[in-house]
Chain A
Amino acid sequence: MKKLQKTQLQPFFAALAANASLYLPVDNEVGKAEFKKWQDGVQMSTALNTLRSAKDFFFPQTENLMEFKMEGKRIDVIDTREECEDFVLFGVRACDAASFAILDRVYLVDPVDTYYKNRREHGTVVTLACGRPAETCFCGTFGIDATDPAGDVTAWELADGYALRANTEKGEALLASVAALLTDTDTAEVEAEQARVRAILARLPLSGLTTEGLGEGMTKEFFARPEWAALSEACLGCGTCTFVCPTCQCYDIRDFDTGHGIQRFRCWDSCMYSDFTKMAHGNPRTSQLERFRQRFMHKLVYFPDNNDGIFGCVGCGRCLARCPISMNIVKVMKALKKGGAEQ
């Protein structure tokens, strides 16, 4: 375990930024945290988490996939892929770090998504253990430890500095590159900090929420449940939950005429949108109930079905904070469990 003094934080950032682009949570013009590129003088946000998740770095809102040159009857396919530059993400929380493992299960399984893989390979993730969790936090529900996040390097904020632990080869290399700023330390301070935060986590209002009764093999049990009607009743059909969600990974592919050729790009899509499954001759999900159900069934049943029981939610709480009508996965989980118990 290594330690960085608080006074050395800016030199530490400068050293990291000398080797690769460094992104960290920074307060924006409206006082909310978002990942921004570090440059001299940029201060790290003290917010618990960023408004948008960190998935953007590996699965951006929009990205160009390829181009086409069209000439008469001829079409040339132009592969515009380029090697991504190295970058470091600092200050990723345990929930978002866990979301990367979920995205990997979609994008890194055969056939591999090379756009995603490229970014994953070139990104080094430094996580920051949570010190002041919020009422909307429930990562513990999914077995995620907010006091011991994954990532290439794990950092803990202490009274006078940061404890740092490399978890991977990439992490070792990162700490080696800034070795001059670090000293050796034991795990005592970290353990004390973890104990402090674990006591808080246990008192959070959602600390008792479990996945019991949810997950693999529950399609038949849940699909036709009457609860979906009331749960989805007020849903606006917007994409807020899907777009702030660190694990939502659905996308659309579209073409854009640049005037010089055709750019094929992909962008985030949302199962909450009415056109998501619309075909020329019909739509298997005609109402918001069906679209709403799809989103939660995916996270709570279908994803676990296909991924060894792992849930498609990391309990970051963004949908709890952001949904315009305050409907969210916690309310859905509770309603499904309650309905099941009453049956």
Chain B
Amino acid sequence: MQAMMEKRAKELLADGTVNRVLGWSAGEFPYDITPAVFETAKELEDAFVYNDFCAANLSKYLVKESRKEGKILVFLKPCDTYSFNQLLAEHRILRENIYVIGVPCYGKADVEKLKAMGIEGITGIVMQNGTYTVETVYGDQTVKAADAMAERCLSCKSKKHVVYDELLGDEGEVDADCNRFDMVEKLEAMTPDERFAFWRGELSRCIRCNACRNVCPACTCEQCVFDNPNSGVSQKAAVTSFEENLFHIIRAFHVAGRCTDCGECSRVCPQHIPLHLLNRKFIKDINEFYGDYQAGADPEAKPPLGTYDKADREAGEGGRH
């Protein structure tokens, strides 16, 4: 797939369809891959990579990139296309300056899972036929790809691209039965005290680095309320121990109905806080209150929280929790 993508990118650069390519750039190790813009065939040859560790969702970079001179080619995985559509619906990206190539994804790997198996000193990873041969300074180890799959990919909602100009590889399908609300249900089944304790425990680890917010394709405010000294709530650290909770709760409210469940927030959290669960709770509630809705599936769709219908439940009516 990497070779196909590189070839196509070179063709589109050569024929002038695009003047830049937004993809992934290889790092020091097999897994530390950085989003990057490539401008020449040489740059692509030197560093372009697409493998199981290309986890970053490139959609949000288009807010900036689509406003630059010329057209940019972007490679989007199925779940990234939902973010793309949502950004389109919110008029945050300029569609005419973007050429989208959908690329298949069979679930991305999480190097933390390898490390949790005690694999350290990684110098190389050979990915073949569903297994990873991990070369380390302590010897080689073979791991099933499925065992190293990122948590968010284990409950992947869709392997279908909802938008593209061109597709490489086979198209996948929406998985209505992806069990992504399992953990939310577990949390719902808890008593309020248990649930409170769960979140206090998780959020107490927050270091307020803002990685979740800055990576989030739904967080595209020109200036976040938490960064605005005139908002009265701009803070960089907890002054009281409840402060962090407030930050995450407010953020979850703000992206409610717009979050496509891409899972980037939890992926980037340096403290491994399962932030996506807050957003999934909203998604589940919205589905239950207003009928199934998937943000980003259709850029023309009317968002349930942005429309009013006489049949809508009143406050309190839907209040199961």
Contacts and interface: CB of A to CB of B under 8 A. Distances in A.
Are both chains from one complex?
Answer: yes
A273 B234 CA distance: 13
Interface in A34-56: 34, 48, 51-52
A139 interface: no
Contacts of B236: 252, 254, 267-269, 273
A322 interface: yes
Q: Name B's interface SS.
A: loop
**Chain B, interface residues (CB within 8 Å), range:** 35 or more
Contacts of A268: 207, 236-237
Interface stretch (B118-126, B141-149, B309-317): B118-126
B214 interface: yes
B308 interface: no
Interface in B233-247: 235-240
Contact of A330 (B28, B33, B229): B28
A322 B36 contact: no
Nearest to B216: A236
A319 to B, nearest CB: 10
A85 B266 CA distance: 36
B270 A133 contact: no
A239 B209 contact: yes
Interface string B201-231: 1100101111101110000000000010100
Contacts of A230: 36
A34 B205 CA distance: 10
A132 interface: yes
A256 B239 contact: yes
A331 to B, nearest CB: 7
B237 A236 contact: no
A243 B215 contact: no
Interface in B102-142: 116, 120-123, 136-138
B118 to A, nearest CB: 9
Contacts of B227: 273-275
A68 interface: no
A30 interface: yes
B278 to A, nearest CB: 16
A238 B215 contact: yes
Contacts of A269: 236
A205 interface: yes
A263 interface: yes
Contacts of A132: 120-121, 138
Given A48-B120, A234-B34, A274-B227, A326 B27 contact: yes
A29 interface: yes
A52 B36 contact: no
B28 A205 contact: yes
B28 A238 contact: no
A29 B270 CA distance: 14
Interface string B227-271: 101000001111110000000000000000000000000011011
Which 7 pairs, one residue from A and one from B, show the smallest C-beta to C-beta distance?
A: A267-B237, A324-B268, A326-B32, A238-B211, A236-B214, A62-B237, A239-B209
Interface of A: 28-32, 34, 48, 51-52, 61-62, 132-136, 200, 203-206, 230, 233-234, 236-240, 242-244, 252, 254, 256, 263, 265, 267-270, 273-275, 320, 322, 324-328, 330-331
